[in-house]
Amino acid sequence: MKRFSAWGYLTFTVWGLGAGMLVRGWRLAALVAVELLFGLFWNREGLGMLTRWRFWVFVGTAVALGPWLGSRAGLDGADLGAAGLPGWWTGLSLGLEMAARALALMLAFSLGMSALSLSDILAVFDRLHLRGLGFALGVAMNLLATLQEMARTTFETIKLRGGLRRPLAALRLFLVTLVTNTLRYGDQIVNAASVRAFDPSGGRRRSLSLTRADLVLAATLAACAAGCWAL
């Protein structure tokens, strides 16, 4: 259920990205918990990334490599302010922190940006007098899912035709096909915008105003940031 305007979700994204880069240790767990609660109540679509196995492979790899890197680098507990701990435990702590930071950053971006439509992005950049940039960014964001589908279809087609027997030729054909289809799809979007008389340098500006819910969200996020800093 979407409750906030585009400004509210953008505020959450900026807050989440900033906090994800600044906080450390157990504060990262608190940050991830806040983001998960936000997603459960106001944007469950943004939590879709948690159902993808590739994401958890990435997180698990970061955690698994931590002890090995800690042992190889000769770290000890003093590096984390906990004397007496072996290097592998220090590396595991670093791996967990790295994985939690990646999870916090990706959740912040997914929860905020997935709630915005192309018209919302255009309205935000209209207010900033950057209409052309807003259109380009919106098209790029909406192209990601289409690009993934085109890549999967292209790979399956090459595989069914026996192209994997020649890996280098198959890779070249895959890249050429993917780039060509992406450019063609982009041209179609631009042509559709031209037919609808879209003018990136002018035209009617879209109105987008702050709501009371956005202000409450901003105040709550500021309080959460102050609480995490105080801990």
Ranges of H-type helices in the chain = 6-22, 26-42, 53-73, 87-113, 118-127, 131-160, 167-195, 212-230
pLDDT tens digits, one per residue of 78-98 = 444 444 555 556 667 778 888
Select the more confidently predicted residue: 162 or 13: 13
Q: Do residues 219 and 137 share a domain?
A: no
The verdict on residue 56 lying in a domain is: yes
Is residue 221 within 8 Å of residue 18, measured between CB atoms?
Answer: no
Q: Are residues 213 and 144 part of one domain?
A: no
Domain with 51, as residue range(s), is 6-116+209-230
Stronger pLDDT, 230 or 101, i.e. the higher one: 101
Report d(CA 66, CA 97) in Å as an integer. 10
pLDDT tens digits, 35-61? 999 999 988 888 888 888 778 887 888
| Together in a domain, 104 and 140 | no
**Lowest pLDDT segment from 16-20, 72-76, 126-130:** 72-76
Domains contained in the chain, number: 2
